[in-house]
Every structure is written in structure tokens, then in C-alpha cells.
Amino acid sequence: MTAAPTVRPVDAAGLVLIRQGRGQPEVLMGRRHRGHSFLPNIYVFPGGRLDAGDSRPSGFPEPVPGETLRQLRRGCGRRTPHAFARAALRETLEETGLLVGEPGRTAAGSARPEPWRHFARHGLAPAFAALGFVCRAITPTSSARRYNTRFLIADGALAGGSLTGDGELEDLAWRNEDALRHLGLVDVTAFVLAEALARWRNPGKVPPPALLSYRSDVVQLRRARPAG
């Protein structure tokens, strides 16, 4: 029997939002709808595959921090690293209803596509400058759907609006660490969460960002070399 060809992973971006709660940090997560063919009923961070529009400028200044851009350039091929930043903010708005932005100058009459026009209507500039890099993860080769996902992090205090979203994620909520322990996270999500919380607590004392992939469905972890 001929083996099925390996599916090529598609580029994707996710955003880990963490804010200070009462005594513990709180993380925004939701449960994927049971109708999804990929990880149904599993709790995840907001995110998804890159769209064609993510390759086009938002119409706002996009001052993604230099170290974040450096990490996004790794393995991005023909993609611009800014496309991953745009996708993370766009997917978060679509899936949660939250605008991750800061008060900014929004010139009247500026032609911006959605979702960036939505930021402008609320007097906000997308928080590109607040995006940090957590890690990159590639779905196992045995999966029928594969993603090459860059996970970013931002302060949840910058997220404004009501938790609604487009139905992709259910049971959306800010959860502290005690609540997160009971969600039954898959290995990738648990790893990303641990990395993100470490950066949240001690941004200057964490290992270099990692690439998490699989060989024969066994997790492989490779750390990026420090800059310099």
C-alpha cells in the first residue's frame, strides 16, 4: 500500500493574551467548536492561518519590535514577517471580538481595509509595538491538517471590547493558572502557555524562543541561538 503524501503545513499565527488578575496572571483561551475537523473541543489561544490580506499593510504604523521581527523571519519563506503580526491581531478580533490596540492618531478619511478600519472607528491603533515572540510550532506529519504557527504574546490590558467572536471559539474566558490546569490542554498548547507565562513573569530571564516540531509523532524541541 502506498503511503499517503505528507501534508505541507500552512502558515498560521496565534496570540497569547495575558493580564494581571487577582494574585495570578489571567490568560484568554477558548474551546474550538466541536464541528472543527482539527482539534475539536480543545482549548486554544486565538489564532489561525494567514489570509491573503495579511500580506498587505494595515494603513497604521506597524512598529513590531526588532527581536520579534527577527524571530518571525525564521522560516517565513516569501512571507513578510509583518504578515504574522497582522494575522495574530486580526484573528484575535474575529475570534474573540477584542481589539488589541492603543489610543492612536487615526487620520480622518484614511482608506483602510477591514479589520483595521474597525480599529480606526474606535480611535485605536493596532498594538504592533506590544507584540513579543513566544515560539513556533509545526503540526505532526501524520496530521491531515498541518500548521506552521508563530505564537506571539501581548498584554491583555490592551484588549478592549466584549468577548463575543465569530463562533470559532466557545467558552471564551480569562482564566487564572488554577483554572487552566483543568482544561486538558494538548502538548503544544501546554508548552506555549508555559513559555508565555515565563516571559510574562521574567521577560529578561527566559531561554531563547523554541521551534517545536515532531519526528515520528515524537516532540522535537530546538532553541534559537541567542542574538549577538
Query: Domains of the chain by range and CATH?
Result: 10-223 (3.90.79.10)
Phi first, then psi: give them for residue 69, nearest 5 degrees.
-60, -40
Q: Is the pLDDT of residue 106 over 90?
A: no
Residue 34, pLDDT score: 65
d(CA 133, CA 211): 12
CA dihedral 150, 151, 157, 158 (to 10 degrees): 10
Q: Which residues contact 143 (CB under 8 A, 6 or more apart)?
A: 7, 38
Tell me the pLDDT tens digit for each residue of 22-38.
889 999 999 987 656 56
**Residue 126: which of 217, 175, 64 has the closest Cα?**
64
Q: How confident is the model at residue 220 (pLDDT cuts 50, 70, 90)?
A: confident
CB 176 within 8 A of CB 28: no
Average pLDDT over residues 141-170: 91
